[in-house]
A and B are shown apart, each in its own frame.
Chain A
């Protein structure tokens, strides 16, 4: 099927974009890799599309103080290969290798993926786990939203009508931190049946922080502090299972997802620890 009619606006500046977004039933068009299928299947029919691809202020990746800023039109592929990302927030790249296929990554944006708030999205989990800040501009000026307040439900964020995400900042992780992302999908490049991002800190040989974000098992990523239980697999699994409530769908049963989570959590934590060790050495 083909998209229904919409008015197309290609603003020349961020303020122009915000003005255009005040029109009724408007939507931002970033990479279009999630939005265009929704339009073609007529699951969405916005009246106005505001194309931000020409806004050079939203391009690029920069170190800003103790944070790594990713602009709203930086493509997944650029983020995946950017040296600043690999050095300062390797988890983003660990997760991106699971996001779709290279051809989709050439056009889709990492920030768009977060704005889309897909509960199966790898970057949604990364943003939640790291406590990323989402930079927003709207009719009443600029504001920052913490990832935990941003993801409200499946495909639902706390953005209000007429707001634009200009970029997302991630805290830089020095070499005492290690991270990993693991998932199981039906086919390579598909959305995960279940997946886990893990983050640990090792100081002088001692584990001082350990947390995980589980995705594809709830409407928003489930972030859990596991420092107290992460050396005892039984306790770890009990804690994790009590905090998730996966659904059964055509791809997998809830029980199977629980089973995957058990295995993936242990695997993600092991990998994060060896990542921390390899970063310090």
Chain B
């Protein structure tokens, strides 16, 4: 078989310009993990249902496993690594998860953090019902949903109280 054609994919990831040459079939989630070595983005089901691979593409949450990296070359991507503050302290949603025990094994957590981060930008004062709705597309096998909902509400509270968040 002929060698597979490679495409130059250039992204701004968490503020840094990064690039690699990859085959067209490279999923964005794999591009981040394998080619850019950013392993914060997790891969669970690889067909769009679990939400673990959720990243922000030009600010909007999307499934990393349902996009080919080559298709979004030139875009801005934010991963869970990019949601820490510039001084290295936890970002506000990350801090809320820490305080509210929003994670057990942590496998699903990167997808929740990115999803909730984007959700709170749109709706900074969610009700419990809205918080529940916001995370309905993410699965947690440790079934810690109660504390995840608490984490959403806690993050909103932290933002209100003016806690530092660089993103």
Contact = CB atoms under 8 A, between A and B. Distances in A.
B150 interface: no
Contact of A104 (B24, B46, B137): B137
A154 B16 CA distance: 44
A51 B25 CA distance: 12
Main secondary structure of the interface of B (DSSP, over half): mixed
Given A8-B7, A104-B48, A2 B27 contact: yes
Contacts of B23: 5
B67 A36 contact: yes
Interface string B49-92: 00100100100111101111011000000000000000000000
Q: Give the contact-size bracket for chain B.
A: 20 to 34
B163 to A, nearest CB: 25
Contact of A106 (B7, B62, B65, B136): B62
A2 B25 contact: yes
A139 interface: no
A189 interface: yes
Contacts of A41: 47
Contact of B60 (A33, A101, A106, A188): A106
B5 interface: yes
A3 interface: yes
A178 B60 CA distance: 33
A104 B71 CA distance: 16
Nearest to B48: A37
Interface in B18-55: 23-25, 27, 30, 46-48, 51, 54
A5 B136 CA distance: 33
A181 to B, nearest CB: 18
Interface in A1-55: 1-8, 10, 29, 32-33, 36-37, 39-41, 49, 51, 53
A51 B73 CA distance: 12
B109 interface: no
Contacts, number: 82
B78 to A, nearest CB: 14
Given A29-B71, A53-B71, A102-B137, A107 B27 contact: no
A189 B5 contact: no
Interface string A69-107: 000000001000000000000000000000011111011
A8 B4 CA distance: 11
B24 A8 contact: yes
B71 A103 contact: no
Given A3-B25, A103-B61, A8 B66 contact: no
Given A49-B24, A106-B60, A33 B48 contact: yes
B94 interface: no
Given A3-B25, A41-B47, A107 B67 contact: yes
A7 B136 contact: no
A99 to B, nearest CB: 12
B137 A40 contact: no
A103 B54 contact: yes
Nearest to A190: B49
Contacts of B5: 7-8
A100 B63 CA distance: 12
B32 to A, nearest CB: 15
Given A32-B71, A36-B48, A36-B68, A104 B63 contact: yes
19 contacts: A1-B46, A3-B25, A3-B27, A4-B25, A5-B4, A29-B68, A33-B48, A36-B47, A36-B65, A36-B66, A37-B66, A40-B27, A53-B71, A77-B60, A102-B61, A103-B61, A103-B62, A106-B60, A107-B66
Given A100-B137, A101-B51, 7 more contacts: A2-B30, A33-B63, A37-B47, A51-B68, A53-B71, A103-B137, A104-B48
Interface of B: 4-5, 7, 23-25, 27, 30, 46-48, 51, 54, 57, 60-63, 65-68, 70-71, 115, 133, 136-137
Interface of A: 1-8, 10, 29, 32-33, 36-37, 39-41, 49, 51, 53, 77, 100-104, 106-107, 188-189
